[in-house]
Structure 1
Amino acid sequence: MSDQVQFNRDLCQFLARATTPFHAVSVMAQLLLESGFSPLAENESWDLQPGGRYFVTRNGSSIIAFGIGRQAGPARGVRMVGAHTDSPCLMAKPNPERVQQGYFQVGVQVYGGALLNPWFDRDLSLAGRVSYRDTAGKLRSALVDFRDPVAIIPSLAIHLDREANSSRTVNPQTDIPPILCQLADDEKADFRGLLRERLLAEHPACGVEEVLDFELSFYDSQPAALVGLRGDFIASARLDNLLSCFTGLQALLQWDGESTSLLVCNDHEEVGSLSASGAQGPFLATVLERMAGSREAYATLADRSMMISADNAHGIHPNYADRHDENHGPVLNRGPVIKINASQRYATNSETAGLFRLLAAQEDVPVQSFVVRADMACGSTIGPITAGGVGVRTLDIGVPTFAMHSIRELAGAADGYNLSRVLRRFYNFAGELDAG
């Protein structure tokens, strides 16, 4: 089996388990534990040793993993890769029960910039975090994942909307509440009761007495798959941006122990990153300060460090090629993409891009560039947020992708593996991180 084939098999398994940011962090923590990384707690003292491997989580939905290099010290800097754990989705409202025509439906909020039309007629499951009171009266939390398809959002038949193919729009309040089941005449809709049953099924010893609250997301239960006549593509939910989380993790697990290296995967990027666990929060900065040991050492550390912000890039769509700049249309399976924006929507500069091109050439990995059309608005990433908040040189890169923010996205089967090779070389790069 080739390394690329094994990488994609492991990626598909990761995507199947990482159905929410909470589950993604749980899976990543387990993989780190199995690879010899030690968990840290933010409310305890840290004793970081050269050669040590550590990780810390916040809110159960963000994670930072790092290794202290044998050549450690603020003047050596930190090689950092950043990604995000969240994806656009439909989240259950606090009081979600809706009963219409005898159907038990769940009211939802749209999380992030979701492409809504693909959510219709999909086999949906439900997962997330539930807070509850146990039999001893204590507050507890646990993760749940129904796994099976438990809901669906049926389309309106074209016979009842003859203009569907030309002018149908989606009202997120009235058109997309998923259907869970049909109720008997004397049956009541009880969403918290369903969650209590699920908690007992997944955690028999949890002692749940009452479900108090929840953060639950619907997701497509269809598993990730290699698709195409020659298996050229990988199709899955949450490629943006769990693909980058996985590539960064795989690279860090191959760290050689020389230079201090770090992976940060934040929650809430899709809604602006302003939260305690988001990139606009203090999570990364506080970890770096503790690694440095003092405020002055932190300033030196930040100056000598570099961040690669990994977030999917827009591949040029063969049916919509006019949506790209004619000289900057990334093609799937042609290598990772350096993202550039003169207005600093991406944090790339010539030095950080130059280093990435140098490392990619050493791995014989092709590199592409993306610049948005001058007459179109540009998205952004955690890159500029990290550069502005932490003060490190930053590069924005990503794997080219189709259907970004759809319930099912598409990427090249070779690109994630090739990006992981470049990120591994970056982690193990022994030279200086600037042009000198």
Structure 2
Amino acid sequence: MTWDPADPRPRTDEVTEGLARYLDASPSPFHAVERAAALLGEQGFTEVAETAPTPRQPGRYLVRRGGSLLAWSTERAEGAATPFRVVGAHTDSPNLRVKPHPDGVRAGWHTLGVEVYGGPLLTSWLDRDLGLSGRVAVRTPEGVDTRLFHTDEPLLRVSQLAIHLDRSQVTEGVRLNPQQHLAPHWALSDGLDFAAWLADHVGADVGDVLGWDAMTHDLTPARRIGRDADLLASARLDNLATAYAGVRAVAHAVDCPGGSPWVPVLALFDHEEVGSTSERGAQSTFLPAWLERIVLAADGTREDYLRALAGSVVASGDMAHATHPHYADRHEPDHRIRMNGGPVLKVNANLRYATDAVGAAHFRLACEQAGVPLQTYVNRTDLPCGSTVGPMTSALTGATTVDFGAPTLSMHSTREVCGVADQAMYAATLAAFLAPA
């Protein structure tokens, strides 16, 4: 990542190329966090173990917990009660995850049992070359070690039924039973079972493989598309596009000249797609516990921590629905969202999004500071609205919170689409939010 610290407006091509590399290197939440940590390390952030004392020296730090990450800087803090500016996002995306006993044989085909994670568009997983990634828990003389694995070899495929054998697919659409129809096939002959393949892949004995968090991913790389190459198509744009923009923003916030005395924080959470209820999800104590540790390490008190939260602002980022050209009737007619039209403020009166007037004002000011346009998304009143990490983060911290996103089509498909210009505007806005003038 390179830019002029005095200018938060990054070049569109540079942001797009960086995002594409990040997407391709991050097939799982664990790899997304690993790559984010590496990028932040290049900007002077030091990794801290959760079991180690919280650093007391002002500086740039990050901590990992599985597929989640927090990064912060105390270099400009003015006392223990300095408020926080937090950008939140999530690292997980809907996919197919390998079961504990996955090996099966169906009509002579060797298949892998998978479970649907989150809410993917299931038909988008058909007839694609799929790889595998995740982490493995391995027995060692010292206890348990975790090792990441990532293979982009075309190992798996979920083949669709030929039209000749079910012509109702034309008139009624493809109907998939996740148990019956989604187990990928990966071999015809007898050989390694999955545990043995995994052990070989991470350099362990099969008897020492104690568990895995393994998932499939589409092998098509991120690339620019369209007549004018002004769109980016990729897997996992929801929500790694926000994660990458957040990484850029916090790295910029610690280097830009001037600015207000805030503690900039980046919070990347796992498990948003399945409700965030885990030890590293947004409903966990991961964020509030570490915010308190930061205050206490500055010789603050519980009173100082609560004062800091009272003045803090959280920006919760998740991709937003661009208005679809073929389904415009599924969108609120007075809130059209245009691709490459700028960041999107997300509002819902029933608090599926956490945005209120004060939070919206802070985000609008960030857009003005960055010199980018702002769009506003509201769901159709007669359709259910999705949600984000925003409401739960707001409830856990008591901080003013705003929900936002970048325009996207085909959300939850194996291959989503976003605007190229939007990504530079996205990163610039978050940089301005974390370092307000």
Aligned to 2:194: 191
Query: For the Cα contact (< 8 Å) 1:133–1:208, is it kept in 2?
Result: no
Q: Which amino acid aligns with 2:13?
A: V
Aligned to 2:358: 351
| Secondary structure of 1:281 counterpart | coil
Aligned to 2:5: none
Deviation at 1:98, TM superposition (A): 1.0
| Secondary structure of 1:274 counterpart | coil
- Aligned pairs for 1:119-138 (under 5 A) are 119-134=125-140, 136=141, 138=143
Deviation at 1:137, TM superposition (A): 7.5
Deviation at 1:43, TM superposition (A): 1.3
Query: For the Cα contact (< 8 Å) 1:99–1:189, is it kept in 2?
Result: no
Deviation at 1:188, TM superposition (A): 4.8
Runs of 5+ unmatched residues, structure 2: 3-9, 256-260
Aligned to 1:252: 250
Give me the whole-angstrom Cα distance separating, in 2, the residues matched to 1:73 and 1:416. Answer: 34
Select between 91-100 and 247-256 the one with higher mean Cα deviation.
247-256
Which of 247, 257, 271 aligns to 1:268? It is: 271
Query: For the Cα contact (< 8 Å) 1:199–1:208, is it kept in 2?
Result: no
| Secondary structure of 2:139 counterpart | strand
Deviation at 1:75, TM superposition (A): 4.2
Q: Which amino acid aligns with 2:22?
A: F
Runs of 5+ unmatched residues, structure 1: 201-205, 431-436
Can you list the C-alpha shifts for 1:306-328, whole angstroms capped at 9, x where unaligned?
Answer: 00001000110000000001011
Q: Which amino acid aligns with 1:380?
A: S
Normalising by structure 1, we get a TM-score of 0.93
Give me the whole-angstrom Cα distance separating, in 1, the residues matched to 2:362 and 2:253. Answer: 18
Give me the whole-angstrom Cα distance separating, in 2, the residues matched to 1:74 and 1:336. Answer: 33
**Structure 1 position 374 matched with structure 2 position 377:** no
Aligned to 1:414: 421
Deviation at 1:124, TM superposition (A): 0.4
- Aligned pairs for 1:71-150 (under 5 A) are 71-134=77-140, 136=141, 138-150=143-155
Query: For the Cα contact (< 8 Å) 2:199–2:205, is it kept in 1?
Result: no
Task: Give every structure 1 segment of 4 or more consecutive aligned residues whose post-TM-superposition deviation is greater than 6 Å.
Answer: none
Aligned to 1:222: 220
* Aligned residue pairs, count: 419
Aligned to 1:180: 186
Select between 360-369 and 341-350 the one with higher mean Cα deviation.
360-369
Aligned to 2:33: 25
Change (3 A) 1:256 1:55: closer
Query: For the Cα contact (< 8 Å) 1:307–1:394, is it kept in 2?
Result: yes
Q: Which amino acid aligns with 2:353?
A: Y
| Secondary structure of 1:254 counterpart | helix
- Aligned pairs for 1:390-405 (under 5 A) are 390-405=397-412
Can you list the C-alpha shifts for 1:357-396, whole angstroms capped at 9, x where unaligned?
Answer: 1221222201100000010100100000000111110000
Can you list the C-alpha shifts for 1:66-86, whole angstroms capped at 9, x where unaligned?
Answer: 011424335431111000000
Give me the whole-angstrom Cα distance separating, in 2, the residues matched to 1:44 and 1:75. Answer: 23
Give me the whole-angstrom Cα distance separating, in 2, the residues matched to 1:137 and 1:357. Answer: 52
Which of 56, 60, 66 aligns to 1:53? It is: 60
Percent identity, please: 42
- Aligned pairs for 1:318-357 (under 5 A) are 318-357=325-364
